[in-house]
Every structure is written in structure tokens, then in C-alpha cells.
Amino acid sequence: MWGWNSFSQSATVFSIPRYLEDHALRLRQRYLGFVYEVGETLIDGKRVVDHLDLGDGFSLWWMTLIAEKSPLKSPAIYACLRLLALHEILQQRQPGEVVLASADAALAESIGRLCADQRVRFTWRRGEPARRGGAVRRLYEGLPHALKGWLSLRHILKRWSLRGVGGQAWASGPDAVFICSYFIHLDPVRCERGEFYSRQWEVLPRVLQAAGRRLNWLHLFLFSAVVPDTATGLRWARRFNQSAAEQGRHAFVDTQLSTRTVWTTLKTWGWLQRRARRLRNISAAFDPAGCAPWLWPMLRDDWGSSFSGTTAMSNCLALSLFDATLAQMPHQPLGLYLHENQSWEKALLRAWRKYNHGEIIGVQHATVPFWHLYYFEDPRCFERRPKGALPLPDRLAANGLAARKSFVATQYPPERLVDVEALRYLDLLVLSQRQKPARTGGATVRVLVLGDLIPASMHYLLRLLEEATPHVGPQFEFTLKPHPGLAVDLAAYPGLRVRETREALGTLLTGFDIAIAANCTSAAVEAHIASLPVIISMDGEGLNLSPLRDQPGVRFVCAGAELAAALQAAMDDLAHAAGSRQEYFYLDSELPRWKGLLALNTAG
């Protein structure tokens, strides 16, 4: 038997997710190569990227969900990767029959095609599909993509009040710096006082201003708990602009909303529909070269959304808004933006170069998990070509050694990489210098359990801990710090001996010896930098999305017995001094790398 959604493995059960993890580098590269080759596919004598050329050398291909490769937007990518793994398993084991027990019709279609290619008998035992969401949601999901595209225009109405705010009197001249960022992760107390402070940029704006730079902020507005409505965003932006000389000029991408930009959006969207009809035979390209899995059934909806649905409309709107913004902005010699390889970034890069602004630097501001494929490309994407090339920043600022290694591993052009301090994580500097107290035999081992926002992931972690508890000694003392956004009912886990705390993580870490974390939580990075041995659970529903996936000394478990063994091994590690983890991020409160990159006057 083969497990599709489980890392557990035995003499009778073979785990496909575990095989994928064991051969991750090769299979990730195969998927990246597959995406590249779809873009290079010839249809009527022209490459797909050329069919989608807007006429200025920029191809809308790079804004599609297929090219973006974000598992967060396209969960089907996980299934595609497992299909690549299944193909290799079938070649190695050569079974006589494959029986799929699933309600997923697209998965059955792909595996059926794979088995036919391998001349393996295939049987589909169709289960009852899970009913997700309410009746209205299910009705919406069944609508044609084009109708969803039209309906998505309602989001413009929600942001219509942002038009015309800021965007006048932009700073210009050699000291101007353009920064494109999200209107999120703000300090609400400071913002209400009219003081702009972004936790994504932390102290860098003050350093720039102290060096005589004048800042132009272009924000992507996002609804959040901190900014629940446009009225809040408008009020804050206007207060910031009252002291623009000290805080920079602030505007939203949506500042350029108008009947003209909406009309331009609809024209581009209509053009995209016509191009999609020319590419109607594209499904044949979803057979990866040299590999039998047919991935079209898994990615069919992503294609539809990208060419006529909500993604298509959103991308066309981004093109219109960035074009209008950068056209009327005075020449900017330097630009910075938060780099995640999202589609809006491609629209920004196109408009930036179309209107001949200066150097633009992408700032990798968070962690770079191995399976967050939107950070990575097939090496052939970096080849210089006259038109249709992947839009790239002039330089990419990596915030630590871990990020640099991740980019180099997929052959990102090294001449485009630069090192900078991790602005969002400078408060970890104290943790990275933490001295572990000496331990004595028989002392209590204090274990911090770090919660996750995803309920299923949190439940899986606590079940593992409950299974492991009878197999660990009484010297282990467990404390749960739940995620602020998810309450945990510990009464549902009667086998646990654990207390709960709500203290700040930075304060907590100095009082613990070992950390256990759910798969996705970034809090595990803070524990790692604090030199705690870290154990991470994997539930098999997704992939290993931990930002610590490739870090030495980090243990990954998927069963209670494995967790118990990992705790014992981690306790043994405590007898040895742990080296500094500072190299994961570049941490220096004086920002020497940033100052060197931006040629700032460090005496300022």
C-alpha cells in the first residue's frame, strides 16, 4: 500500500511524500524545468511566452499561476510533485495494478494517464467528496472562469476610495528612493499618532533619512486586523503625508484607480481572452519532458484563472495601476521592493523599466523555504534574450546565509545577489548571542511547544506529543505557546502533561532547553537562532514547508515514537555547547551591509 498523504512508512506501507522528500532536489528541479518548458512550447510556430507579449518585450506568461508556482495560491502543485515521485516509484517497482481510493477526479485522471503510459492496470475507487464551504461558495466555485473574472471587479469598489490619495509632489533628484511595500505589519499605536513604522522595514527608513535620502512610499493595501478598512488606511496615509519631509510621501497602488485604468484593465483582459483561444491546445504541453505524468488535470483551473478568471483580471489591473503610477512619477534613481516573486512584482518591474527609472533592488525579507517554489526558477530562465525574458530586479538582496545558499542552489545569477541585514529579525540578535546555562545531571529538561495558525497542523503536533509522552522520562517538562490566532483546547488531549503560556516568544526562549514546532511556523527559526535543539512535526498533507528544512541538527518527525526518540537525542545534545546560529540571518544593528549597498553616509 502507498500513502499519498502520510509520511508514515512500514514494511507494508510506502510513503510517497517521504520519497518526495528523500529525492527533493531532483524532483523540484524537474518541476521547475516542466514550468519553463510549458512557456517555451510552440503553438502555431510561436512560443507561449511570445503569444503573451504585450508588444514591449514583456510577456504576461510570467504573471500566470503556472509560472508563479506558489503552492500557497496553487495547492495542486503539491499533487504535481507527488505525481512526479509516483512516476519514479512505478518505474522502480513495476506493479501490476494501481488502485486509487480518492474522491479527487483530477487526480484520478492524471494517475490513470500515468498508469496507461506505464502499462499498469488502474482502478479508481471513488470516495465521497468532502463538502467544503457553504452553498454560495460551492456555487461560485462552479462558475466559468470568465464570469469569475467579471465578478472580481467588485474588489475595485472596495478600494475605490483610495484613489487620488498621495501621489502628488513625489520626491525627485539624486537623493530620492522609491520603496514598494505592503500596507501591513504596521505599528497601529504609532500610526494613529501619525508616525509611520513598518515592521517589514524596521529601522532602514530612519537610516536612509538620516543619510539625506527622501523617500517615496508606494503601498499595496491589504485588509487586515490592524487595517480593517480603507478609512483607516486613508486616515493614516494623510497623517504621514502631513510630515512628508520627515516621513516620506505615501500613496497606494490603488491611488491610480480611475475609469481610465479600469478601461485599460478590461482591454488587456479582453486581449488575454483572445490569446487564450490561440493556446487552446496547450494541454499537450503538460506532459513533462521525459516523464509520463500528465499534469494538465491538476493545473487546468490555474490555467483558466490565469487567462480569464480572477487571476487574469487582477494581473491586468496591476499592469494598469503600476503603469499609471510610474508614468507620472519623476525619475527615481533607486527603487526597493519586497521580493516574493509574486505577479504584481512583474508588473512593477515592467513599468519601472518602461519609464526609464534607475536601479531597482528586490529585498528578500522573510525566510526561503525549500518548497516555496515561487522563489526559484529553472536556470534557463536566467539566460539573456531580447524579448519575453523573465523580469528580474537589477539585484536581489538576501537577508542571510540560508537564503543565499537557497538561491545559489538553483543557479540564481551570483552577480545579481547581494547580502543585507535581515531587517525584520534584528531583534533576534540578542537570542543569537544567548549563552546556554550549564546543565547538571538529572536536571529538568524544559521543552517549549510552538503552536501554528493552521488547526490541522496544530492538532497533529499535539497528537504526536500525546503519543510520545508515555515514552519520555519525567524530567521533560512541556509548555505550550499557542499561536495568537488559534486557541487550543488542551482538554481534548488528556494524555498530555503540558501547561500553557502567552508570554512573548523572545522572553520565553531564554528559559527553555528544547523546542518542538509545527511544520510551517516561523517561530521555529527564532528557537533555532537561540541555539535550542528544534524538533518539527510533519503531517503528510502538505510538504516539508519548514524554513529550517535544510538546517543541520534540526529533527523532523511524523510519529509519536519518532518524537520520543528525537527528544532523547536532543537532551543528549544539551551536554554539548551549541555554536552560534547567527549566520542563518545577517544580524547587525548598525546595518553595515545595507549602508554599503546603498552607499549611505554611515556618519549621518
pLDDT, tens digit (0-9, with 9 covering 90-100), for 135-158: 777 788 888 999 999 999 999 999
- Cβ(530)–Cβ(510) below 8 Å: yes
Question: Cα–Cα distance between 186 and 202 in angstroms, integer?
Answer: 10
Interatomic CA distance for residues 178 and 98, integer angstroms: 56
- Higher pLDDT pick, 263 / 91: 263
CATH level 3 topology of 434-579: Rossmann fold (3.40.50)
Please state, in angstroms and rounded to a whole number, the distance separating the CA atoms of residues 318 and 345: 9
Average pLDDT over residues 534-548: 82
Measured distance CA(162)–CA(185) in Å, rounded: 19
- Quick one: what percent of the chain has pLDDT higher than 70? 93
Mean pLDDT to the nearest integer, 250-259: 94
**Residue 365 in contact with residue 424, Cβ under 8 Å?**
yes
Q: What are phi and psi of 569, to 5 degrees?
A: -65, -40
Does residue 180 contact residue 336 with C-beta atoms inside 8 Å?
yes
pLDDT-derived band of residue 540, with 50, 70 and 90 as boundaries?
A: low
Is the confidence at residue 109, as pLDDT, over 70? Answer: yes
Mean pLDDT, range 308-320, rounded to an integer = 96
Look at residue 509 and tell me whether its pLDDT is greater than 90.
Answer: no
Highest mean pLDDT among 130-134, 221-225, 513-517: 513-517
Contact 365, 333 (CB under 8 A): no
Averaged pLDDT for residues 39-46: 92
d(CA 468, CA 564): 5
Residue-by-residue DSSP string for 193-261:
TT---BTTTTTHHHHHHHTT-EEEEEEEE---SSS-SHHHHHHHHHHHHHTHHHH-EEEEGGGG-SHHH
Mean pLDDT, range 222-238, rounded to an integer: 91
CATH 3.40.50.2000 range(s) for the chain read 434-579
pLDDT (0 to 100) of residue 166: 73
Q: Look at the alpha carbons of 349, 353, 355, 356 in this order and tell me if their dihedral is positive or negative.
A: positive
> In the prediction, which pLDDT does 94 show?
86
Query: Which value, in Å, is the radius of gyration of the alpha carbons in the chain?
Result: 25
State the residue for C-alpha cell 490555474: 302
Q: What burial class does residue 295 get, using C-beta atoms within 10 Å of its C-beta: 0-12 exposed, 13-18 middle, 19+ buried?
A: buried
pLDDT number for residue 523 = 85
In the predicted model, what is the mean pLDDT of the chain? 88
The mean pLDDT value for 251-272 works out to 95
Q: Residue 604's pLDDT band (boundaries 50, 70, 90)?
A: very low
| 163-253+321-425 topology per CATH | Rossmann fold (3.40.50)
C-alpha cell at 97: 495494478
Task: Give the residue-averaged pLDDT of 570-574.
Answer: 79
CB 420 within 8 A of CB 594: yes
Name the H helices within 518-590.
523-529, 560-573
Give pLDDT, residue 377.
95
Confidence class for position 184, pLDDT limits 50, 70, 90: confident
Angle subtended by helix axes 76-93 and 24-40, to nearest 10: 110
**Is residue 577 over pLDDT 60?**
no
Q: Which range has the worst mean pLDDT, 114-123, 228-237, 365-374, 539-548?
A: 539-548
Q: What is the pLDDT of residues 478-494, one digit of tens each?
A: 999 988 777 888 888 88
**Residue range 424-448: average pLDDT?**
73
Span 108-112, average pLDDT:
92
pTM over 0.75: yes
Q: What is the pLDDT of residue 323?
A: 97
